[in-house]
Structure 1
Amino acid sequence: MDKNILGTQIVTQIGIIVNDIEKVSQSYADFFGIEKPEWFWTDTVDVAQTEFNGESSIARSKLAFIDGGQLQIELIEPDHNPSTWREFLDEKGEGVHHIAFGIKGMKEKIELLNRNKMPLIQKGEYTGGRYAYMDSFDELKVLIELLENDN
Structure 2
Amino acid sequence: MEKTFDHLGIAVRSINDTLPFYLNVLGARVVDRYSSETKGVEVHVAALEVGGMHVELLEPTNRESPVARFIRQRGQGVHHVAYRVENLDQAIEEAKTGGVRFYEETLRTNARGRRLIYMHLASTSGTIVELCDYPN
Shorter-normalised TM range = 0.7 to 0.9
Identify the residue that residue 65 of structure 1 maps to in structure 2.
Answer: 47
Structure with more of its chain in strand, by fraction: 2
1:123 Cα deviation from its structure 2 partner? 2.6
- Deviations, residues 111-130 of structure 1 (Å, cap 9, x unaligned): 33345233225232123331
What secondary structure, in the 3-state scheme, does the structure 2 residue paired with 1:30 have? helix
Matched, 1:124 2:119: no
CA RMSD of aligned residues (A): 2.6
% same residue: 22
Q: Taking structure 1 as reference, are residues 101 and 38 closer, same or farther at Cα in structure 2, changes over 3 Å only?
A: closer
Q: Residue by residue, what CA displacement relative to the aligned partner does 1:58-111 show, whole Å, maximum 9, x if unpaired? A: 642000122124420110011226443233222211111111111122223223
Residue pair 1:29, 1:37 contacting (<8 A) in 2 also: no
* Partner of residue 110 from structure 1, selected from 64, 75, 92: 92
Contact 1:137–1:143 (Cα < 8 Å) also in 2: no
Could you tell me how far apart the structure 1 residues matched to 2:120 and 2:40 are? 20
Q: Answer with 119-128 or 29-38: which moved more.
A: 29-38
Name the CA distance, whole Å, in 1 between partners of 2:28 and 2:2.
33
SS class of match (2:90):
helix
Distance 2:101 2:54 in 1: 23
Partners of 1:82 and 1:134 in 2: how far apart? 20
Which structure 2 residue ranges, 5 or more long, are not aligned?
none
Gaps of 5+ in 1: 1-5, 46-56
Q: TM-score, structure 1 length as denominator?
A: 0.71
**3-state SS of 1:7 partner:** coil
